[in-house]
């Protein structure tokens, strides 16, 4: 595996779950055998973060699914990074395709969110990915590199950033990416980091795949 020494596995629960179903899920996670060389993170809906934090093993970190771009205040419906810190939330997912394409967040807005979260000590899962029409038009790398540039222009350091590639066309559509499709983007993104940030950052940054893979053989995703 290229990148830092530990593998990374994250579970985004999105807008799903009830107290009953989440209690069952937490119980299953608490009894699971987890390998020591893997960082495991779960991202419950905001209203259940405190419940999960108070009942989940410390072996698994908690992530929020989003955060506000700056310090809290008169921003109805938003959650500040300071509030995430207050309840012991160590990670936040930023730039998820549903935030980009359903809510309408643009690349620069997401980059600034990431910079602010990092400035407050919250680690970032930075999401990138292309639409189906963009892949069919041969623009996969262009789109992913543009999204990466917005993060690179804003974040002061990549030490606490994990990059998550998830093609938008493989979310809830029944279509799945092949290992080759995922790996070719991972290789291209790592090369982009090497050329546009630094070889050290390219070597250390973990790049994961978000979503379902069509597995035809054993695959190690870095």
Structural domains in the chain (count): 1
**Residue 179: its pLDDT value, please?**
87
- Yes or no: say if 8 and 41 are a contact pair by the CB < 8 Å rule: yes
State the catalytic residue, choosing from 105, 130, 134, 166.
166
Side-chain half-sphere exposure of 123, counting CA atoms within 13 A:
20
**Residue 4: its pLDDT value, please?**
52
- Yes or no: say if 165 and 205 are a contact pair by the CB < 8 Å rule: no
Flag whether 106 is in a domain: yes
CB atoms within 10 A of CB 50: 15
Domain around 191: 7-209
Flag whether 167 is in a domain: yes
Flag whether 222 is in a domain: no
State the catalytic residue, choosing from 96, 105, 134, 186.
96
Q: In angstroms, what CA-CA distances link 193 with 27, 117, 157?
A: 39, 21, 12
**Residue 212: its pLDDT value, please?**
57
**Rounded distance, CA 140 to CA 129, Å?**
8
Assign residue 169 the CATH number of its domain: 3.20.20.70
Task: Look up 166 and say whether it is catalytic.
Answer: yes
Flag whether 125 is in a domain: yes
**Residue 110: its pLDDT value, please?**
98
Flag whether 217 is in a domain: no
Flag whether 28 is in a domain: yes
**Nearest residue to 49 (alpha-carbon basis) of 68, 32, 63:** 63
Flag whether 72 is in a domain: yes
Flag whether 68 is in a domain: yes
Q: Provide block-wise average pLDDT over 10 residues at a time, the chain (222 residues).
A: 73 96 98 95 97 97 98 96 96 96 97 98 97 93 98 97 92 79 95 98 95 46 38
């Amino acid at each position: 595996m290229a990148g830092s020494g530990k593998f990374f596995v994250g579970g985004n629960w999105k807008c799903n779950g009830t107290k009953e179903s989440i209690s069952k899920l937490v119980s299953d996670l608490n009894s699971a055998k987890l390998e020591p060389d893997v960082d495991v993170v779960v991202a419950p809906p905001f209203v259940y973060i405190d419940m999960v934090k108070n009942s989940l093993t410390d072996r698994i970190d908690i992530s929020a699914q989003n955060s506000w771009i700056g310090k809290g205040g008169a921003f109805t419906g938003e959650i500040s990074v300071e509030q995430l810190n207050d309840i012991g939330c160590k990670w936040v997912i930023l730039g998820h395709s549903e935030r980009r394409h359903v809510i309408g967040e643009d690349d620069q807005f997401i980059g600034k969110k990431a910079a602010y979260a990092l400035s407050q000590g919250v680690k970032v899962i930075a999401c990138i990915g292309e639409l189906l029409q963009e892949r069919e038009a041969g623009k996969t790398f262009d789109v992913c590199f543009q999204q990466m540039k917005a993060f690179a222009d804003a974040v002061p350091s990549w030490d606490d950033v994990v990059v998550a590639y998830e093609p938008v066309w493989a979310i809830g559509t029944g279509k799945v990416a092949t290992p080759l499709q995922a790996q070719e983007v991972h290789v291209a993104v790592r090369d982009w980091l090497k050329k546009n940030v630094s070889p050290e950052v390219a070597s250390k940054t973990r790049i994961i795949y978000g979503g379902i893979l069509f597995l035809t053989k054993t695959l190690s995703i870095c």
